[in-house]
A and B are shown apart, each in its own frame.
Chain A
Amino acid sequence: SRLAEGTPRRSIQLSNIVEQRIFKDDDVISTPKRSRAKISHSGEGDEDYTPKKSTQKTPTRSRRASTTTRPAKDSAPLTPSQKLKKIRAGELSPTIEQRLRPVDKSCKSQLQLAREQLHVSIIPKSLPCREKEFDNIYSFLEGKIQDECGGCMYVSGVPGTGKTATVTGVIRTLQHQVAQEKLTQFDFVEINGMRLTEPRQAYVQIYKQLTGKTLSWEHAHTLLEKRFTTPAPRRLTTVLLVDELDILCNRRQDVVYNLLDWPTKSAARLVVITIANTMDLPERLLMGKVTSRLGLTRLTFQPYTHKQLQEIVTARLGGSDAFKGEAVQLVARKVAAVSGDARRALDICRRATEIADMTEQSVATATKCVSILHVQQALAEMIASAKVQAIKNCSRLEQIFLQAVAAEVTRTGVEETTFMGVYTQVETIAAFMGAVVPAPGRALRLCSKLGAERLIICEHSRTDIFQKILLNVSADDIHYALRVEGNN
Chain B
Amino acid sequence: MEQICAALEPQFPCRETTIKTLGELIGNCEEAYPAAIYLFGHTGTGKSALTKAFLQQCRKQQKVRVAQLNAIECYTTKILLENVLDALAPQGAEETAKRADNMLEFVNELRRWHDQENNSSYLIAVDNAERLRDMDANVLPVLLRLQQLTSLNLCVLLVSQLPFEKYYNKTGLSEIITLHMAQYNKAETLRILSADFVHVQRQLLAGLSGNEKGLRKCEQAMTPEFYSNYLSLFLSVFYKACRDVPELKLTARKCFSIYIEPVLAGTIEATDVSRLWRHIAGPLRAALTQIYMRFDKPADELEQQSNESDQSVRKLAQSLELPYYGKYLLIASFLASHNSAKQDKRLFVKHHGKQKKRMQTVNAKAKTTDKMSTTLGPKSFSIDRLLAIFYAILEEKVGLTCNLLSQISTLVHLKLLSFVSGEQNIMDGSARLQCTVGLEFVLHIGKVVGFNVRQYLCDFM
Contacts and interface: CB of A to CB of B under 8 A. Distances in A.
Interface stretch (B163-171, B200-208, B330-338, B421-429): B163-171
Contacts of A461: 165-169
Contacts of B163: 441
Contacts of B169: 448, 460-461
Interface in A1-35: 3-8, 11
Interface stretch (B135-143, B150-158, B383-391): B135-143
Contacts of A483: none
A4 B167 CA distance: 14
B115 to A, nearest CB: 13
A460 B165 contact: no
A452 B133 contact: no
B165 A451 contact: no
Interface range for B? 20 to 34
B221 interface: no
B170 A460 contact: yes
Given A11-B101, A11-B102, A441-B163, A5 B137 contact: yes
Contacts of B171: 452
Contacts of B101: 11
B92 interface: no
Contacts, number: 57
A6 B165 contact: no
A448 B168 contact: yes
B185 interface: no
Q: Which of B76, B101, B164, B170 has the most CB of A within 10 A?
A: B170
B137 A462 contact: no
A442 B101 CA distance: 36
A91 interface: no
Contact of B103 (A8, A440, A447, A458): A8
B136 to A, nearest CB: 5
A5 B77 CA distance: 12
Contact of B172 (A4, A441, A444, A448): A448
A459 B77 CA distance: 23
A283 interface: no
B134 interface: yes
A449 interface: yes
Interface string B74-105: 00110000000000000000000000011100
Contacts of B166: 461-462, 464
Contacts of B135: 3-4
Nearest to A6: B137
Given A11-B102, A444-B165, A459 B136 contact: no
A452 B165 contact: no
A460 B133 contact: yes
Nearest to A5: B137
Interface range for A? 20 to 34
Interface in A327-351: none
Contacts of A3: 76-77, 135-136
A445 interface: yes
Q: Which of A447, A458, A460 has the most CB of B within 10 A?
A: A460
Nearest to A459: B170
B172 A451 contact: yes
Contacts of B77: 3, 8
Contacts of B167: 461-462
A4 B169 CA distance: 13
Contacts of A7: 137-138
Contacts of A440: 165
A5 B138 CA distance: 10
A458 B137 contact: no
Q: Which of A7, A11, A462 has the most CB of B within 10 A?
A: A462
Given A11-B102, A449-B172, A451-B172, A4 B165 contact: no
Q: Which of B135, B137, B168 has the most CB of A within 10 A?
A: B168
B170 A8 contact: no
Nearest to B142: A8
B111 to A, nearest CB: 13
A4 B136 contact: yes
B172 A8 contact: no
Contacts of A448: 168-170, 172-173
Contacts of B136: 3-4, 8
B377 to A, nearest CB: 22
Nearest to B171: A452
Q: Which of B165, B166, B173 has the most CB of A within 10 A?
A: B165
Interface string B99-141: 0011100000000000000000000000000000111111000
A449 B172 CA distance: 6
Interface string B374-399: 00000000000000000000000000
A443 to B, nearest CB: 9
Contact of B170 (A11, A445, A451): A451
A423 to B, nearest CB: 12
Contacts of A459: 170
Given A452-B171, A458-B170, A460-B170, A8 B165 contact: no
A459 B168 CA distance: 9
A166 B167 CA distance: 52
A441 to B, nearest CB: 4
A458 to B, nearest CB: 7
A7 B165 CA distance: 22
Interface string A431-447: 00000000011101101
B137 A444 contact: no
Contacts of A447: 168
B102 A452 contact: no
23 contacts: A3-B77, A4-B135, A4-B136, A5-B137, A6-B137, A8-B77, A8-B138, A11-B101, A11-B102, A440-B165, A441-B163, A444-B165, A445-B168, A447-B168, A448-B169, A448-B170, A451-B170, A452-B170, A452-B171, A452-B172, A458-B170, A461-B167, A461-B168
Query: Which 10 A-B pairs give the minimum distances between C-beta atoms?
Result: A452-B172, A448-B168, A461-B168, A441-B165, A444-B165, A4-B134, A8-B136, A462-B166, A452-B171, A460-B169
Interface of B: 76-77, 101-103, 133-138, 163-173
Interface of A: 3-8, 11, 440-442, 444-445, 447-449, 451-453, 458-462, 464
